[in-house]
Structures are given as C-alpha cells and as structure tokens.
Amino acid sequence: MWGRALFARRRLSLVVVLLLTLLVPLAARPGSAAAARNQFFPQTGHNITDPFLRFYEQSGGLTLFGLPLTEAFNEGALTIQYFERARLEWHTNYPVGRQIEIGQVGRELAATRVDEAPFRRLAVPTGVGTFFPETGHSLRGGFADYWRANGDLTVFGYPLSEEFAETLPGATPLTVQYFERARLELPTPSRVGLGLLGAQSFRQRAYPLALLAPASALPAPTPRALTIPVLEYHDVGFGVGTYQVTLPAFRAQLDWLQANGYTAVTLTDVYAYMFEGGDLPPKPVVITFDDGRASQWNAVQELNARGMKGVFFILGGGNALSDGQVRQIIAQGHEIESHTMSHPQLSRLSDAQLVYELVRSKQLLEAKYGVPIRYLAYPYGDYDNRVINATIAAGYDGALAAWGGGSWTPQKRWQEPRIIITGFATIGEFAGLVRGATR
Ligand SMILES: [Zn+2]
C-alpha cells in the first residue's frame, strides 16, 4: 500500500499535508470514555497505551521493540506507533486477540535493495542452515538461534537476505540479516541484537518530525477495589453435590439474579474496572464455570435464554465440552479462560512443569480459538508465591482463587476470591451469598 514513489522528494510536501490531516492523537479520540492503561517512558517522552501496551508487555517489550519514538497516531484506517526497533500496527478489522501486528519494516527497507547480492532470492539452498523457500533465503548459526528463541516467524518473519557485512551510517561494520519485521545484527565480538529498524522506517517514510517531540505523560487510572460476587460452578444439571447443581436450581438462581437487578459481566470487564478505569453496570455479577465439564452445555443454554454472559475456565489439554461447543460458547459472547493444561496442583510442580501448565495452556487456547486468554483459575484453588510469579511471567492479567468471598482488591490481582455455589444451597442461601458480596 505504501509504494516507493512515496519516498520521492517531490511528493514530500503532499505526504506531510496528508499525514497531518490524518494524525489524531489517540487520547483525543471521541468515545473513549474510560482512561486506558498507560505507561510513560521518560527516556523518549512517550506513552504506550493499551492495546499497544498489552502487546508490548506480552511480546518482548524493550528488548525486541525498544523505546517508543512517537505517540500512537492514526494513519488512514490504521493506528500505528513507532518504536526504536519496530512499528506496531492496530488493525481493528482483524479478529479480537490478533489486532496488533508488527509492521513489515524490514520488507519495506529491503524492497529498495532487491538487486543487491545478499537480497537476491536463491532458488536452492546454499550451504548450511535452514532454507526458507517462501523467500529464497537461509538462516543459520547465531542468527538462527536468536530468531528461534525470540519469537521466530511471528515476531521477525521470514529472512529477506542472507547474512552479510553492512556498514550503517555512523557505525562500524556489522554482520546483519534482514527479516520481514526486523534486522538482526552481530557487532563483533558482542552478541546478536536487533537493528533500529523502527527509527529507520520512520525516516524512510518521511513523517513530520513533530511526531518525535516528547509528549507529556498521560494520566494512568488509579487501581480501585470493588465488592462483587464471582460465582463458581462445576456441573450444572448432573445430579446434586458440592460440585453438582441441578438444572432447576441453576435456573432459579439465574432468575433470582435477574429479578434483583444483577447484570452478568466478564472478567475482562471487572479487571478493566479495577486497573483501566473501565465502567461496570450497577450490581455486576460474574458467573464462572471450571473444568470444561460436558454438563456446562446446559448452563450455556440457560445463560443464552436470559442474555447473560458466563466465563468458562477450560483446560488446554482437552475438555469434556467439545471443540465445537467451545467455539459456539465464544461466538455467543461468553468468555473462555485458562484452567491450566491438565488440572494439577500447581504448587507441587517443578518450575518447568509450572511453565508448561501456565504458558502452554494460554498459547494453545489462544491459537486454537483465536481469542485472548487473560485470566487463570488455579485448579483446586492451589497456589503459592512461586505459582503467582509464574502466572505473572506467563503473561496473564489476573488469576482467581476458588473461594474467599466478594472483596476484590488490586493487591489481590493474582488471587481474587470467588464464591462456590454447591448443589446444597437453597435459593435463600444463594441470595444471601450474592447479597453478602454486593456493594
Ligand atoms: Zn477445576
């Protein structure tokens, strides 16, 4: 979409005028009532705001992208932000969870150099390493190790050149290799790192330099506590027990919630209220289900019949609910989140097992269902400080215990309480539990 003609000098003034009319600071966007989560970087004087901030935090942050060079700004239908090493792009027309993309700055810069020897596409592999027929280039040695260890195709894309020696302006010669979204560099005798391709792309596209001017820190919302009933169910319509609520009882409970003015919200709504200045309706309630049990399909029908949303904590390693059912649950507006891979007692696992249960379940569910997995419910409500730290490192936004009442606080972000609803609760007892956790 951005032709090479764009970079021609004679077009520059036109481009600048065009861009200035399109540049609308994100903070000034109408309709964004709630303050978004934000982090200010005094080193360059720029803010990173959600959803870029979330992507930045979860995809490599400072190491891969560097500092923000600009605020986020609109360019046509896209919202983009420049970083030292990358350009992030917000595609609102893409599926939720995949809307932020790393711009193909490497491809844009390589486009002007296709005739140079290192960029010429090879028909057959030469020598060692992995050959990528998609682009006709190979990858080997330290660059290959770095590429694999830091996000491979997703983050860097395919190689667009071979390794070669390049002298960049104002620098000593480097060994470099270009990729669709990055340039890997090996300054001898140092370690492999990433080139400042974001900065280079910014210059190549000849944006107004005013975009680089330091901005002031955007206000970040103050985290706030709330009292909310977060109900926890297991089987619905499969006998009576601690983990089994009958269908008539479940219906009566949903009807009671509706008759008493409660609105079922998602965990994303609640965490946004706590940390991002988001709004909640009066009398919010969260209705959660653990384990991906087959009988929860009954609960889905009852929720749908009343226009209520549920949150389903399912396993990465397989559920009694079928894939098709999970997809319908998502399509019907309910939320799915992680309950680990295999439902272990997390505090008893080795560090490596812990990473597998937390990271793999998140990645696998996101890849399989195409939605972000942001929250975790600890199986058996079992967690300790090590588990919490691993949960944070795995990229979750919050985690839930299995009991503890209705007092949610920012300090308890990784162990927010729930209220278990057993099959033995009368409707009066149910009402008491819910009222007891309502502001
Ligand atoms: Zn469970």
- Each residue's pLDDT tens digit, 243-271: 999 999 999 999 999 999 999 999 999 99
Q: What whole-number percentage of the chain has pLDDT above 90?
A: 73
Q: Are residues 306 and 410 in the same domain?
A: yes
Q: Are 361 and 341 in contact (CB under 8 A)?
A: yes
> How close is the Cα of 405 to the center of ligand 1, in Å?
18
pLDDT at res. 402 = 95
Q: Are residues 365 and 420 in the same domain?
A: yes
Q: What does the alpha-carbon distance between residue 429 and residue 161 come to, in Å, rounded to a whole number?
A: 68
Residues whose Cβ atom is located within 5 A of ion ligand 1: 290-291, 379
Confidence band of 189 (pLDDT split at 50, 70, 90): low
Q: Is residue 350 assigned to a domain?
A: yes
Q: Are residues 177 and 49 in the same domain?
A: no
Q: Are residues 95 and 184 in the same domain?
A: no
**Is residue 437 pLDDT above 90, yes or no?**
yes
Q: Are residues 179 and 202 in the same domain?
A: no
Q: Are residues 99 and 246 in the same domain?
A: no
Q: Is residue 371 assigned to a domain?
A: yes
- The pLDDT of 117-143, averaged and rounded, is 89
Q: Are residues 126 and 53 in the same domain?
A: no
Going by C-alpha positions, the residue among 310, 196, 303 that lies closest to residue 250 is 303
Q: Are residues 85 and 157 in the same domain?
A: no
pLDDT tens column, 50-59: 889 989 988 8
pLDDT at res. 14 = 39
Q: Is residue 246 assigned to a domain?
A: yes
pLDDT at res. 429 = 98
Q: Are residues 399 and 288 in the same domain?
A: yes
- Global model pTM greater than 0.85: no
Which residue type does 6 have? L
Torsion of CA 404, 409, 415, 419, to 10 degrees: 30
Q: Are residues 281 and 357 in the same domain?
A: yes
Q: Is residue 341 assigned to a domain?
A: yes
**Is residue 187 pLDDT above 70, yes or no?**
yes
pLDDT at res. 228 = 98
**Is residue 418 pLDDT above 90, yes or no?**
yes
**Is residue 412 pLDDT above 50, yes or no?**
yes
> How close is the Cα of 402 to the center of ligand 1, in Å?
9
> How close is the Cα of 384 to the center of ligand 1, in Å?
17
Q: Are residues 276 and 286 in the same domain?
A: yes
**Is residue 286 pLDDT above 70, yes or no?**
yes
- The pLDDT of 211-228, averaged and rounded, is 90
**Is residue 13 pLDDT above 50, yes or no?**
no
> How close is the Cα of 366 to the center of ligand 1, in Å?
19
Least confident window among 4-18, 93-107, 377-391: 4-18
Q: What does the alpha-carbon distance between residue 251 and residue 221 come to, in Å, rounded to a whole number?
A: 38
**Is residue 146 pLDDT above 70, yes or no?**
yes
Q: Residues with Cβ < 8 Å from 414, sequence gap 6 or more?
A: 383, 388, 391, 392, 398, 399
CATH number at residue 318: 3.20.20.370
pLDDT at res. 188 = 61
> How close is the Cα of 11 to the center of ligand 1, in Å?
61
> How close is the Cα of 291 to the center of ligand 1, in Å?
5
Q: Is residue 111 assigned to a domain?
A: no
pLDDT at res. 4 = 38
Mean pLDDT, the chain, integer: 89
Q: Is 93 exposed, middle or buried (0-12, 13-18, 19+ CB in 10 A)?
A: exposed
> How close is the Cα of 339 to the center of ligand 1, in Å?
7
Going by C-alpha positions, the residue among 297, 287, 312, 299 that lies closest to residue 373 is 312
Going by C-alpha positions, the residue among 81, 102, 75 that lies closest to residue 183 is 102
Instruction: Identify the domain containing residue 157 by its residue range.
Output: 116-195
> How close is the Cα of 373 to the center of ligand 1, in Å?
17
- Total number of domains constituting the chain: 3
Longest dimension (CA), the chain: 78
Least confident window among 109-118, 124-133, 255-264, 347-356: 124-133
Domain boundary among 148, 183, 216: 216
- The pLDDT of 184-188, averaged and rounded, is 82
Q: Is residue 221 assigned to a domain?
A: no
Q: What is the 3-state secondary structure (H, E, C) of the chain?
A: CCCHHHHCHHHHHHHHHHHHHHCCCHHHCCCCCCCCCEEEECCCCEEEECCHHHHHHHCCHHHHHCCECCCCEEECCEEEEEECCCEEEECCCCCCCCCEEECCHHHHHHHHHCCCHHHCCCCCCCCCCEEECCCCEEECHHHHHHHHHCCHHHHCCCECCCCEEECCCCCCCEEEEEECCCEEEECCCCCCEECCHHHHHHHHCCCCHHHHCCCCCCCCCCCCCEECCEEEECEECCCCECCEECHHHHHHHHHHHHHCCCEECCHHHHHHHHHHCCCCCCCEEEEEEECCCCCHHHHHHHHHHCCCCCEEEECCCCCCCCHHHHHHHHHCCCEEEECCCCCCCHHHCCHHHHHHHHHHHHHHHHHHHCCCCCEEECHHHCCCHHHHHHHHHCCCCEEEEEEECCEECHHHCCCEEEEECCCCCCHHHHHHHHHHCCC
Q: Are residues 368 and 267 in the same domain?
A: yes
Q: Are 66 and 43 in contact (CB under 8 A)?
A: no
> How close is the Cα of 234 to the center of ligand 1, in Å?
8
